[in-house]
A and B are shown apart, each in its own frame.
Chain A
Amino acid sequence: MEFFYDKNKPRIKEKSYGRLAMQQRMRLAMAFLNPLRPIINETWLIKGEGNKSRAFGLALKKLIQDGVEGQYPTQYILPNQVSISMGTLSGVAIQDVVLSNHLIDIYFSSEENPSSRDGDEVILVAYSPELGMGGKNDVPCYRRDGHLHMELPIHFSESPFHLYLYVKAVNGKQYSKSSYLGYFENAR
């Protein structure tokens, strides 16, 4: 028993290193994924067994486990480890990425596969976590096309951005695991 206990003196309990590190990982992962929530809610839905909150929670868990590097307090996100979509659908092989004057062109190929269809939709996402902004290709592109063209969001004229690509099945339910294409800067 503490004889000199003073109830007016606030009890300051220092947080452990592990707790602080985990809280920072959570914050970093949440800040990175939250603007992409509308996409993740769809693309992780099968993993989340039809529940959007669970789907986002699983994406968050994966990012915390695989995509955060460094030691507290200098932890950081590895964008190439971020999976903005998840699934068993086969993806496409990227041949070339051409960025010119606010426009982006992706050239890709896809092998014949029993689980893939020519009509599967290929979706490109440009995302800047610093701005909390992102954009998808507004003109639909399909696996058979081999080429995707996208006008970049106006916000990215002066800010670098990450590119992710994934495939959505014709039935609209299945998705491929997303591919990370790199970190780009729009040089006008």
Chain B
Amino acid sequence: MGTFKKGINGPFSGKIGSVIGSHWKDVSYMKGLYRTKSNKKPSEDQLRQRDKFKLLLDFFAPIKRLLAIGFGQYVKSNTAVNAAMRFNYDMAFYEEEGKVLLDYSKIQFSRGSLFTAGAEKAMLTDRGIHITWNTKTYGISGHFDDIVHITCLTYIGKDRFFDSESGDIRRHHGEAIIELNTKLKPVEIHVWLFLSSQQGDKVSKTVYIPIEISDNKVTL
């Protein structure tokens, strides 16, 4: 049964006749009752949009905590994943032979005015992925104790693994090693890095650090 809040014109929650009221993140919603699903087949464009949406949503699902830092300042009546989806949706895809794929170099886990480190490099070593960056701050936006957030995506066969490191690594450290969760040699690695201020009120944009893996050596 629906319950009125804040008087006769206020929002309500629950079912009243043919409408349902609900409340989420300070936003009141009113929606109609569920109707039978349409049997109409989706168009090609609709299918493509659904593929894109699912692809990006599945990609972001394991890294919600990271997105909460990177897009935290854009979260009000939505979630960090919502904000990340909205920001990345127009630029995160490319098509190959009619198939929608993610363009990893364009994906951003954060958006803000904090300055990035610069000279970011990564290489695969026996201990894991060794990442280095510039430690200077140049006096405008950025401090030596800014927190560095690193995310690595590795493909081993068709399996996908996320490894991330944040909290203990600071801008002034200049390097970090991300230990991989697996002993198997990955066939594809993607690394992203962004910074956040110690207070958490500022973040930088995300820098994509590519690594190419050949049979015998790893090149930048």
Contacts and interface: CB of A to CB of B under 8 A. Distances in A.
B141 A35 contact: yes
A77 B140 CA distance: 21
B139 A136 contact: yes
Given A132-B113, A134-B115, A153-B118, A36 B140 contact: yes
A120 to B, nearest CB: 18
Given A133-B116, A155-B118, A138 B138 contact: yes
A51 interface: no
Contacts of B139: 135-138
Contacts of A133: 115-116, 118
Nearest to A156: B118
Contacts of A34: 113
B118 A38 contact: no
B15 to A, nearest CB: 24
B132 interface: no
A153 B116 CA distance: 11
A39 B138 CA distance: 12
Interface in B130-162: 134, 136, 138-141
Contacts of B138: 134-136, 138, 153
The B interface is mostly helix, strand or loop, or mixed, namely: loop
Interface in A113-149: 125, 132-138
A153 B113 contact: no
A154 B118 contact: yes
Contacts of B134: 154
A160 to B, nearest CB: 16
A136 B138 CA distance: 6
A34 B140 CA distance: 12
A125 B140 contact: yes
Nearest to B133: A154
B27 interface: no
Nearest to A152: B138
Interface residues of A, number: 17
A6 B10 CA distance: 26
A37 interface: yes
A134 B119 contact: no
Given A34-B113, A154-B118, A154-B119, A39 B136 contact: no
Q: Which of A39, A133, A136, A137 has the most CB of B within 10 A?
A: A133
Given A35-B141, A38-B141, A132-B205, A154 B115 contact: no
Interface string A27-71: 000000011111100000000000000000000000000000000
B131 to A, nearest CB: 16
Interface string A93-113: 000000000000000000000
A136 B140 contact: yes
Nearest to A36: B140
A37 B202 CA distance: 12
Contacts of A39: 140
Nearest to A153: B138
A1 B127 CA distance: 76
A38 B143 CA distance: 12
A132 B138 CA distance: 13
Given A125-B140, A133-B116, A137-B139, 13 more contacts: A34-B113, A35-B115, A35-B141, A37-B113, A38-B140, A132-B115, A132-B205, A134-B115, A134-B138, A134-B140, A136-B140, A154-B118, A154-B134
16 contacts: A35-B141, A38-B140, A39-B140, A132-B115, A133-B116, A134-B115, A134-B140, A136-B139, A136-B140, A137-B139, A138-B136, A138-B139, A153-B136, A153-B138, A154-B118, A154-B119
